[in-house]
């Protein structure tokens, strides 16, 4: 059986049982002001309040727990711009094994600090996908660690799907579930959870205009490369995974794009109106409602806030990074 064939709703359910009690069951937040602004009933799944400050804790914990004793003994390794690295380091520490984290040299300092705080062994590399993959291959060869890809991995995808699984248990009669998309782990897992639950909800992803490979891939029906991504949403600059796309192309209804200016607007509203610290990548899903209100008006909308890790000394509206 191929990895794609084995990935289904049952795998998401199993992941939910596996990680239960080890991670937070994150709350769902609402705001009358933001409902009025968007013309929709919006239910925010607060994954920025998850352990390590991001949904990534779900997939990493599921993947580490799935390792047998012999494989786990050699530790785990991955490449990450931050949130997955911190999540894997945390999950590895909980099991008492090593975590080798390859990070681009330009990753936000707050995310490097988080990986180190959880005991992750950081190996820096040049900020390209090729450099990340080459460095990771050397680390795996040297240590014998099991590679846990940040998104193109069946256990990661199943684990990420548990966020949407919880959301559907917490809120009835959703018309659409909205998530950001970068590598596609959260989106693929969400699609498995929502379509497998047979609740009739649409699955919609939002992507920055400056890093739109998922949008192009779904539109053309063929995986497209991510070249020179330019967006404030640093967690979404990566390329869509092959395994992820095999699920996305058949189970995701729509992908829309948003400019960075709209991402910043979404951040400011979530900070000022909801009093929630949300990172740019985490605000992308809500930015989709602001940029394309006609798609959501009058509907019950589940919005996943994917993370809340950012450098508080480098806020976009203070330093005017957005063009």
Q: Please tell me the predicted confidence (pLDDT) of residue 322.
A: 52
Q: What percent of the chain has pLDDT over 70?
A: 97
Residue 128 vs residue 156, higher pLDDT: 156
Q: Please tell me the predicted confidence (pLDDT) of residue 320.
A: 56
83 falls in which pLDDT band (50, 70, 90)? confident
What's the predicted TM-score (pTM) here?
A: 0.93
Q: Is the pLDDT of residue 55 over 60?
A: yes
Q: Please tell me the predicted confidence (pLDDT) of residue 319.
A: 60
Q: What is the pLDDT of residues 87-98, one digit of tens each?
A: 999 999 999 999
Q: Please tell me the predicted confidence (pLDDT) of residue 130.
A: 87
Q: Tally Cβ neighbours within 10 Å of residue 55.
A: 34
- Enumerate domains of the chain plus CATH numbers: 3-54+153-319 (3.40.50.1100), 57-147 (3.40.50.1100)
- Across all residues in the chain, what is the average pLDDT? 94
Written as six digits, the tokens of 221 are: 């029906």
Q: b or e along 94-119 (b: 16 or more beta carbons within 10 Å of the residue's beta carbon)?
A: eeebbbbbbbbeebbebbbebbeebe
**In residues, how long is the chain?**
323
Q: What is the mean pLDDT of residues 71-87?
A: 92
Contact 187, 179 (CB under 8 A): yes
Q: Please tell me the predicted confidence (pLDDT) of residue 310.
A: 86
Contact 59, 159 (CB under 8 A): yes
Q: Is the pLDDT of residue 278 over 90?
A: yes
Q: What is the pLDDT of residues 179-218, one digit of tens each?
A: 999 999 999 999 999 999 999 999 999 999 999 999 999 9
Q: What is the mean pLDDT of residues 146-154?
A: 95
Q: Helix-strand-coil percent breakdown of the chain, rounded to 5?
A: 50, 15, 35
């Amino acid at each position: 059986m191929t990895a794609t064939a084995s990935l289904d709703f049952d795998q998401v359910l199993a992941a939910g049982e596996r990680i239960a009690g080890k991670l937070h069951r994150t709350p769902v937040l609402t705001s009358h002001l933001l409902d009025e602004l968007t013309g929709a009933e919006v239910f925010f799944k607060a994954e920025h309040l998850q352990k390590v400050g991001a949904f990534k804790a779900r997939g990493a914990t599921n993947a580490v727990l799935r390792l047998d004793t012999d494989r786990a003994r050699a530790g785990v390794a991955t490449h990450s711009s931050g949130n997955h690295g911190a999540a894997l380091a945390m999950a590895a520490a909980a099991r008492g094994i090593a975590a080798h984290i390859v990070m681009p040299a330009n990753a936000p300092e707050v995310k490097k600090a988080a990986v180190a705080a959880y005991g992750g062994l950081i190996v820096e590399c040049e900020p390209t996908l090729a450099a990340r993959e080459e460095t990771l291959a050397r680390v795996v060869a040297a240590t014998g660690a099991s590679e846990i890809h940040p998104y193109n991995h069946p256990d990661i995808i199943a684990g990420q799907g548990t966020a949407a699984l919880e959301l559907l248990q917490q809120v009835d009669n959703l018309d659409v579930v909205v998530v950001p998309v970068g590598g596609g782990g959260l989106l693929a897992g969400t699609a498995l959870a929502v379509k497998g639950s047979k609740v009739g909800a649409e699955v919609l992803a939002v992507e920055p205009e400056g890093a739109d490979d998922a949008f192009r891939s779904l539109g053309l029906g063929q995986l497209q490369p991510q070249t020179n991504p330019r967006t404030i949403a640093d967690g979404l600059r990566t390329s869509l995974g092959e395994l992820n796309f095999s699920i996305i192309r058949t189970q995701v209804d729509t992908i829309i794009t948003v400019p960075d200016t709209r991402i910043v607007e979404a951040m400011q509203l979530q900070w000022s109106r909801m009093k929630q610290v949300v990172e740019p990548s985490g605000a992308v899903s809500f930015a989709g409602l602001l940029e394309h209100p006609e798609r959501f008006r009058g509907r019950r909308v589940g919005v996943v806030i994917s993370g809340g890790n950012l450098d508080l000394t480098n806020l976009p509206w203070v330093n005017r990074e957005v063009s």
